[in-house]
A and B are shown apart, each in its own frame.
Chain A
Amino acid sequence: MSHLSLARVDKFYGRVDHGVHAVQNVSMDIEKGEIVALLGSSGCGKTSTLRMIAGFEEASRGTIALAGREVHTLPPVRRNVAMAFEGYSLYPPLTVRQNIAFALKSAKLGKTEVDARVAEVAQLLEIEDILDRYPSSISGGQQQRASLGRALIREADLHLLDEPMGQLEPQLRAVLRGRIKHFVKERGYTAILVTHDQTEANALADRIAVMEGGVLQQFGTPSMIKERPANLFTGTFVGEPPMNVFTARVAGDDGRIVLELPEGVTLAYPAGAFTDDVRRTIRAKGDIVIGIRPYSVRRAESGVEATVAVNQWLGDQTHIAADFAGGIIVLVEHDRTVLEPGRTIAVEIDPAALHIFDAATGIALAHGMELA
């Protein structure tokens, strides 16, 4: 049995089946020692899910089991989880040191042991110099690290981190990500991280759970999420800049597959570019949505025409946005490309880089040559 197991969990705010359905039928199994990121935009249900695991919100339906015990009916105090809160939630009358040490109170350790552990966590989070200050006299970023320290210092069955690094400066965030991951892995802790920052999710997590509208969209490794998005939402949500998306009608004969995009733009491929299964599936559908990552779009001598709309040099790469098939296609080049707006370019789309989705449901049909 998994270390943490959510089975068909629902959360309604208000009456069951009538109120706001914040989390819908979420099932998830997390192994011991794993770091999992709940990734999604605001209001997608990720924090509600976390709070149900912690016990601050009641699961309206479904079961939650942790370390072999069913915990969804237990009060938070008996679940043995540690949590870092998005709003820090430090105890105002205590110093940072007391706040962090406080989490160890129920563990009943000796003073030297507590001091050693606080020192270790403080060093990890670079807050040694503010240990004797009060929460009201330190910055938001420092409070956030103190709150993170209070969670990490505990030896709990599960560590829940709600947006743990949102207030930190980029450099520090990058350093701490590595250290925290090492700290958690070294001790064999299991952690769930809530974030809307995909870089953070990719850097820290072994697996990412993408949520939207209360529904778990996809749960998999970062590379799986990136390369084989389960649906249109995951495809467009993960990846920066976002995936280019166009509606298409499948046409052509035995020898060729022709994708008819809006405004008379067509993409023609030899039938051999796709496997038989993929060909059969998309032909049967007729109406599809195609997605192409900006990194996979290439300029070519001959290809489909597009008109440059915006050209941005970001210091290490060029983002070119061009009018294409009634929409915008974005491509990324690693050199500084000089292309003034209004110029016509030819773009080439590798069939192996195509993500094909069902136009009606958004569910992925194929990634490149293979069926989803």
Chain B
Amino acid sequence: MEHTSTLERVLRGIALSLIVLFFMFPLFWIFLMSFQTNETILRIPPSLFFEPTLGNYKALITGKLDTAAGSLDIAFMKNLWNSVLLSTSAVVLSLILGVPAAYAFARHKFRGSEDIAFTLLSFRFAPPLLVLLPLTIYFQQLGLADTYVGLIWVYQLICLPLILWIVRGYFEDISADVEYAYRIAGHGWFATFRKIALPLAGPGIAAAGLLAFIFAWNNFVFALVLASADKQPVTVAALAFVTASGIQYGQIAAGIVLSITPTLAIALYAQRYLVEGLSLGAVKG
């Protein structure tokens, strides 16, 4: 049954268009910038018409940046690979640690369980800069500074609380009796966790994993301080385009396009899970 009048539909259409325009325009503009040279980007007034160039992408992929002040070596593709490696490893490790922990917090109320869960969540409250200085000193003493392992470890501060709290909610939504029914039919708790709890919480785990991946991918400050150029992800690498001879807007735009592509692709692919996972309960009556 449709109760909306024509006027209402038109107004709704306009509102939706405005919202889409508001959120999509910057992306669209950056996409256009990535095919322009610095001169066409910076001309006044700006124009939608220009001669597209692949120079920015070429510079990023070959690693040779030609500026007015001379040629510069950049390792953008290496940084992109670093981002993939760091974010993926961090999320995988978080899932391995976080999903069983979330299950434990959801199902077994032990002494201090709420306190521990809250402490883990509180890592998200603290500004990262607050912990960075002591962390840098520790990492240097432990030999973890400027290593992938060290960064992946620090990324747990971002991923683990997120996964733990989202997935815990999913496990809590599953009726414990479904698991009891499975256990009483002759299965141990681990089989129950694997065969009943994990599949039922699947969409939630996927959604949490994806969110954690995006958060990890977008992280800037940890890698800026704790890693040197060859271990840094794209977020930090974009700083390299602020060169002595000016800011390379074209390359920055191309770098942004390249760096959001993986997350965008995953998000589009997992959209179904994400919507299902973040909006519905895992089990319906």
Interface residues of A (CB under 8 A from B): 54-56, 75-77, 79, 81-83, 85-87, 89-93, 102-103, 105-106, 136, 140, 143, 147, 150, 154
27 A-B pairs with CB atoms under 8 Å apart are A56-B180, A75-B189, A76-B180, A76-B183, A77-B187, A81-B184, A82-B184, A82-B185, A83-B181, A83-B184, A85-B177, A86-B177, A87-B175, A89-B177, A89-B178, A89-B180, A89-B181, A91-B181, A91-B182, A93-B199, A105-B186, A106-B185, A136-B284, A147-B181, A150-B181, A150-B185, A154-B185
- B134 interface contact, C-beta 8 A: no
Give the contacting residue for A75; candidates B183, B185, B283, B284; CB below 8 A.
B183
Rounded to whole angstroms, the CA-CA distance of A55 and B184 in the bound complex is 9
**Contact status of A136 and B180, CB under 8 A, knowing A75-B189, A102-B185, A106-B185:** no
Which among A86, A106, A150 is the interface contact of B186 at CB below 8 angstroms?
Answer: A106
Q: How far is the CA of A314 from the CA of B34 in the complex (A)?
A: 84
Write out the residue numbers on chain B whose beta carbons fall within 8 Å of the beta carbon of A136.
284-285
Collect the chain B residues with CB atoms within 8 Å of residue A89's CB. Answer: 175, 177-178, 180-181
| Complex: chain A residue closest to B284, CB-CB | A136
Closest to B200 in A: A92
**Complex-state Cα separation, A329 to B283, whole angstroms:** 50
- Complex interface: chain A residues within 8 A of B184 (CB): 54-55, 76-77, 79, 81-83
Interface residues of B (CB under 8 A from A): 175, 177-178, 180-189, 196, 199-200, 283-285
Q: Do A105 and B177 touch across chains, with their CB atoms under 8 A apart?
A: no
Q: Provide the residues of chain A in CB contact with B181, threshold 8 Å.
A: 83, 85, 89-91, 147, 150
Given contacts A89-B178, A106-B186, 10 further A-B contacts (CB under 8 A): A77-B183, A77-B186, A77-B187, A81-B184, A83-B180, A83-B184, A89-B181, A106-B187, A143-B285, A150-B185
A108 to chain B, nearest CB (A): 10
Within the complex, the shortest CB–CB distance from B133 to chain A, in Å, comes to 43
Q: How many angstroms between the C-alpha atoms of A85 and B177 in the bound complex?
A: 7
Task: Write the nearest CB–CB distance from B249 to chain A, whole angstroms.
Answer: 51
If A92-B283, A136-B284, A140-B285 touch, whether A54 touches B180 (CB-CB below 8 Å) is yes
Of chain B, the residue at the smallest CB distance from A139 is: B285
Give B188's nearest chain A residue, CB to CB: A77
Chain A nearest CB, measured from B109 CB (Å): 10
A residues near B200, Cβ cutoff 8 Å: 92
Instruction: Determine the distance from Cα of A87 to Cα of B182 in the docked complex, in whole angstroms.
Output: 14
For A77, the chain B residues whose CB sits under 8 A away are 183-184, 186-188
Q: How far is the CA of A13 from the CA of B95 in the complex (A)?
A: 32
Q: Which of A83, A93, A143: most chain B Cβ within 10 A?
A: A83
Chain B residues closer than 8 Å to A103, beta-carbon distance: 185
Are B186 and A91 in touch, CB under 8 angstroms? Answer: no
B residues in contact with A75, CB < 8 Å: 183, 188-189
How far is A90 from B180 in the complex, measured between Cα atoms in Å? 11
Question: What A residues does B196 contact at CB under 8 A?
Answer: 91
| Interchain CB contact under 8 A, A91 and B183 | no
User: For residue B182, which residues in chain A have a CB less than 8 angstroms away from its CB?
Assistant: 91
CB closest residue in chain B, given A104: B185
Chain B residue nearest in CB terms to A136: B284
Provide the bound-state CA to CA distance between A90 and B182, in Å: 9
CB distance from A81 to the nearest CB of B (A): 6
Residues of A contacting B188 in the complex (Cβ-Cβ under 8 angstroms): 75, 77
User: Which residues of the other chain, B, contact A85 by a CB distance below 8 angstroms?
Assistant: 177, 180-181
Write out the residue numbers on chain A whose beta carbons fall within 8 Å of the beta carbon of B183: 75-77
- Shortest beta-carbon distance from B30 to chain A in Å: 43
Question: In the complex the two chains form, is B199's CB within 8 Å of A105's CB?
Answer: no
**Residues of B contacting A54 in the complex (Cβ-Cβ under 8 angstroms):** 180, 184
Chain A positions within 8 Å of B177 at CB level: 85-87, 89
